[in-house]
Structure 1
Amino acid sequence: MSTAWSWYVIALVALNIGGCVWLLWWTGRRRPGDPKPTDTSHVWDGDLTEYNKPLPKWWINLFYMTIAFAIGYIIWFGGLGRYPGYAHWSSVQEHAREKSAEDAKLDATFAQFAGRPIDVIARDPRAVSIGHSIFANTCSGCHGSSARGALGYPNLTDDIWHWGGTPDRVLETVLDGREGVMPPWGKVLTGMGGDNAVDYVASYVQSLSDPKGLENNFMAAQGKSLYEGLCVACHGPDGKGNAAMGAPNLTDDYWLYGGSKQQIIQTITNGRHGVMPAHRALLGETRARLVAAYVWSLSHGPAQVAAK
Structure 2
Amino acid sequence: MMEKDNLSSSEGFILVGFSDRPHLELVLFVVVLIFYLVTLLGNMTIILLSVLDSRLHTPMYFFLANLSFLDMCFTTGSIPQMLYNLWGSDKTISYLGCATQLYFVLALGGVECVLLAVMAYDRYAAVCKPLHYMVIMHPRLCGKLASVAWFSGFGNSLIMAPQTLMLPRCGLRRVDHFLCEMPALIGMACVDTMSLEALAFVLAIFIILAPLILILISYGYIAQAVLRIKSAAGRKKAFNTCSAHLIVVSLFYGTIIYMYLQPANTYSKDQGKFLTLLYTIVTPSVNPLIYTLRNKDVKEAMKKVLGKGGAGI
TM-score, with normalisation over the residues of structure 2?
0.23
In terms of fraction of residues, the more helix-rich structure is 2
Question: Which structure is higher in RCO with an 8 Å CA cutoff and minimum separation 6?
Answer: 2
TM-score, with normalisation over the residues of structure 1?
0.23
